[in-house]
Amino acid sequence: MTDLTKPVELMPNLWWVGSTDNQRNLHCNPYLLFQGGSYLLFDPGSVLDAEIVLSKVRSIVPIQDIEAIILSHQDPDLCAALPLFEQAGFSGKLCCHERTAMIIQYYGVKSPYYLINQNQYQYAFKDGSSMGFLFAPYLHFPGAIMSYLPQQKALISGDLFGGISSHWELFAGPDYKEGMKAFHEVYMPSHEILKPVMEQLQYYPIEMICPQHGSVIKDSIQEHILTLKNLQCGLFLDTLRKQIKDIGGILKLCNQILKRYFALYGNEFVHQVFDASSFTVNYKEKVFIKTSIPEEDIWNELFSLIEERKGIAWLSAIASLVELLTKEYDLPLPPSFKTLVFHSQRNLDEQRSKAEAMHYKNEQLEAILRERNKKLFIDPVTQLNNQEFHKGFILEEMKRIAQEKGELAYLLLSIDNLANINLDFGSSEGDKTMLTLANLIRLEVSLETKICRLAGGVFAIHYASISKEEAIEKANNLRVKIEEEESFIIPITVSMGLYHSMELPPALWLDIDQMAQVMHQTALFRLKLAQKQGHGTLIHTSISTGTSRSAVTILVVDKPSLGRDLIQKTLERERYRVLTVSNGLEAKNLIADSRPDIIICELMIEKLGSFTLRKALLANTNTQRIPFILMSVNKNEHTVRRALSLGISYFFARPIALYELSGVVNILASQLQRKES
């Protein structure tokens, strides 16, 4: 049993520090994070529970040691306690969107602001690592944000994923989605605004959602995201008419009302409504079994019974759902919802919501489009521009230097031991390593220098208007700085390939596409040469053809054996760089991090079969063109036919003739080098 009188550690170094008080079925949740030497508090709450929150936070860290308070938006249920925290010793930063800061000032706070939209939607901890923010405009405030913690894979979601319930629990149960839908139907402006934000979240690795209202979600994450993605809410509804008969009659439709009441008020109060009534309820399944009321009267009589036994409050709680169902199934609004008191209350709410929604509608949609376009070009791990952005940017740079006869140094670097970090410590540490490296590079280059993360652990840096000699000096200084950095989980080194625009042949300066292709491919070729020559190497000149085979990496996938050793030694004598793994799963992970040039694979490998591995590579545009050589003692008509169906042209029977294998590898390597050059 979780002790809710004390802070609850939800994930490593992430605590719930809230109160158990449930204010009119709306529960509030503050969270405390310790990461990278920094303490951050999320959404501290209202004056009603400030004393409890302060006490729980103090049991972990002195208030004056909190570096920043993160604010999802400006509402008093999460911000009103700010002056009390300042009185208790808080002197850090208030981290929020600038739209939120405009309103928060009226709480009388004195702390300085850290505006996330002016800081690339991220916050750096003391050790150089960082967390990111997701813009969620008009859900339900113009400056609403969510916080993503990459190390914990947790989402601090603000009002999103919040829920209403009379029987609050810290962790969401199977009925939580009904309370969540009830909250969003009322407080979120429209499906058109909610859906794109949920689509964004589907691409993030999320293991826990921590909303500001309701319960913490740790199971069925994607199911909850999909629920909100498909939810009809707010004023801009254009629903399709549905047929009652298609769902089994009006009593089946009433089950949606019943389940919502179970979620909002719990079993005991639902009993009070339907015991000794004309409706028979299966309280375990939470559905109506039967009723003595004629079919045509069920809809109206249900709400008459609820109004009689529980009053206007119970009708108001499900008004949004009832209105939605009446539109969907072309039903009349029940008379119970047309009483004078209810009508005036709903009319007031609707007018206020409509005025606000109409005022912001155009701005909402424009903001979402801007943010969606931005997200298309931002790498979620490092918050740098991604490979898609880089493709367009390098063309623009080529156009610029062709017009101005300017200079550009193009540096590619890759983390030499990223694959080992992923294997030894897990992919989350690999992501953290890339994020730390990205932050280090930001600190070492000027604001005018563009940094992008390409595939895997490869980064691109564009140094504008500098000579090649200056670029070599900057690259070497950066390489040494990275090797000396102590904030990585283990020391890392980087290999570098550098190409300068002055090396471009004069004949290419009239062809922008060719300029970009030659610049990128040559820098990539030099990067591969640096990787083969040893960790921490910078290559900035072309290498003679006689040594170019060292730029080709071959992955051999086979269990440890004399046969594998012979293949490795034969290829290494040909001056290729050879990597070996023992099973298909290790191969898949290594290929994702350190894309080899050629793959030689045993048919009967463990954990992930060779054909399954090949299918996975074909499904990825970054790996589908890697030559794939198969070998097996089970080479027969069936296995050959399967290999050919997957585009495998080379299939050797074992024991393998090593001179034949090396001959095929030499042909493939020559083709690759001609393509790159």
Buried b (16+ CB within 10 A) or exposed e, 375-396: bebbbbbbbbbbeebbeebbee
Q: Which residue has the higher pLDDT, 337 or 361?
A: 337
A 10 A CB-CB count for 477 gives 11
Give phi and psi for 223, each to the nearest 5: -65, -40
Reference 68, options 89, 88, 46, 94; nearest CA is 94
Checking DSSP bridges between strand 14-16 and strand 93-96, what pairing results, if any?
unpaired
What's the predicted TM-score (pTM) here?
Answer: 0.45
Can you read off the two tokens belonging to residue 323? 């209105």
**pLDDT tens, residue by residue, 378-402:** 888 888 888 888 888 898 889 888 8
Rounded CA separation 95/513 (Å): 43
Checking DSSP bridges between strand 279-282 and strand 287-291, what pairing results, if any?
antiparallel
Q: Which residues pair with 135 in a beta bridge?
A: 145
Q: Is the pLDDT of residue 28 over 90?
A: no
Can you read off the two tokens belonging to residue 507? 């004949």
Q: Is the pLDDT of residue 353 over 70?
A: no
Q: Is the pLDDT of residue 231 over 80?
A: yes
Contact indicator for 496, 411 with CB cutoff of 8 Å: yes
Rounded CA separation 259/276 (Å): 19
Report the greatest alpha carbon distance in the chain.
93
DSSP 128-149: S-EEEEEE-TTSSSTT-EEEEE
Structural domains present in the chain: 8-178+185-227 (3.60.15.10), 244-338 (no CATH), 387-543 (3.30.70.270), 550-676 (3.40.50.2300)
Highest mean pLDDT: which range of 522-531, 549-558, 628-637: 628-637
Whether residue 655 is preceded by a cis peptide bond, meaning omega within 30 degrees of 0, is: yes
Q: Is the pLDDT of residue 556 over 50?
A: yes
Cα distances (angstroms) measured from residue 374 to each of 135, 277, 365, 390: 11, 56, 14, 13
Q: Is the pLDDT of residue 30 over 60?
A: yes
Angle 71-204-31 from CA coordinates, rounded to 5°: 30
Angle 38-43-44 from CA coordinates, rounded to 5°: 85
**How confident is residue 358, by pLDDT bands cut at 50, 70 and 90?**
low
Checking DSSP bridges between strand 8-11 and strand 14-16, what pairing results, if any?
antiparallel
**pLDDT tens, residue by residue, 392-441:** 889 888 988 888 888 999 999 999 888 888 888 888 888 999 999 999 99
Reference 457, options 566, 360, 589; nearest CA is 589
Mean pLDDT of 272-291: 92
DSSP 311-344: -HHHHHHTHHHHHHHHHHTTPPPPGGGGSHHHHH
Angle between helices 298-310 and 267-274 (to 10 degrees): 110
**pLDDT tens, residue by residue, 54-70:** 999 999 999 999 999 99
9: amino acid identity, one letter:
E
The tokens 């149960």 sit on which residue? 173
N-term to C-term CA, the chain: 65
Mean pLDDT of 18-41: 84
Average pLDDT, the chain: 86
Mean pLDDT of 307-334: 84
Reference 389, options 460, 444, 441; nearest CA is 460
pLDDT of residue 386: 87
Signed CA dihedral, 301, 305, 311, 313: sign only? negative
Rounded CA separation 153/428 (Å): 8
Buried b (16+ CB within 10 A) or exposed e, 261-293: bbbbbeeebbeebbeebebebeeeebebeebeb
615: amino acid identity, one letter:
K
Percent of the chain with pLDDT over 70: 90
Rounded CA separation 15/41 (Å): 10
**pLDDT tens, residue by residue, 590-640:** 888 778 889 999 999 998 999 999 999 998 888 888 999 999 998 898 999
Cα distances (angstroms) measured from residue 196 to each of 139, 206, 369, 415, 580: 11, 17, 9, 34, 43
pLDDT of residue 156: 95
Cβ neighbours of residue 189 under 8 Å, at least 6 residues apart? 138, 139, 140, 233, 234, 235, 236, 353, 356, 357, 360, 364
DSSP 358-401: HHHHHHHHHHHHHHHHHHHTB-TTT-SB-HHHHHHHHHHHHHHH
Cβ neighbours of residue 499 under 8 Å, at least 6 residues apart? 409, 410, 519, 522, 523, 526, 540
Contact indicator for 21, 48 with CB cutoff of 8 Å: yes
